[in-house]
Amino acid sequence: NAGVTQTPKFRILKIGQSMTLQCTQDMNHNYMYWYRQDPGMGLKLIYYSVGAGITDKGEVPNGYNVSRSTTEDFPLRLELAAPSQTSVYFCASTKGGDGPGELFFGEGSRLTVL
């Protein structure tokens, strides 16, 4: 019963480095999301996808890129990491279709940029 799987769980980056956060789900969900959560704050939407080949910007997309080549995978790319990108990143998915259902989250990826 894997659900939503994120890797890595922890990562330290130097300013200017790049990396990809991986997210995969095995529930055949159409909708996938990337959020970031800063300490004591709510979740902010970075990017989302309503199906393979379709992606859209959320509230805070600057500094990030995504792709959705398959239903299962939704990687988040950080280019030129900055200290402001230090955060906890959550990937989530839901079936979509007839109204919103439950959002299922991965365990999160804790990123520190030094």
Partner 1 sequence: RKEVEQDPGPFNVPEGATVAFNCTYSNSASQSFFWYRQDCRKEPKLLMSVYSSGNEDGRFTAQLNRASQYISLLIRDSKLSDSATYLCVTNGQNFVFGPGTRLSVLP
Q: In the complex, which residues of this chain contact partner 1 (CB under 8 A)?
A: 33, 35, 40-45, 48, 58, 90, 99-100, 102-103, 105-108
Name residue 18's amino acid. Answer: S
At closest approach, how far in Å is the CB of 22 from partner 1? 16
> Rounded to an integer, what distance in angstroms lies between the CA atom of residue 73 and that of residue 5?
10
At closest approach, how far in Å is the CB of 16 from partner 1? 28
H or E stretch at 93:
strand 87-94
Tokens at 28, concatenated: 């055949």
What angle (nearest 5°) sits at the alpha carbon of residue 61, between those of residues 42 and 97?
75
Number of neighbours of residue 96 by Cβ within 10 angstroms: 14
At closest approach, how far in Å is the CB of 83 from partner 1? 21
Measured from the CB atom, the residue of 49 and 71 that comes closer to partner 1 is 49
Torsion 4-8-14-17 (CA) sign: negative
Measured from the CB atom, the residue of 45 and 82 that comes closer to partner 1 is 45
At closest approach, how far in Å is the CB of 34 from partner 1? 12
- What residue has token string 């990687």? 75
Measured from the CB atom, the residue of 46 and 78 that comes closer to partner 1 is 46
Measured from the CB atom, the residue of 106 and 113 that comes closer to partner 1 is 106
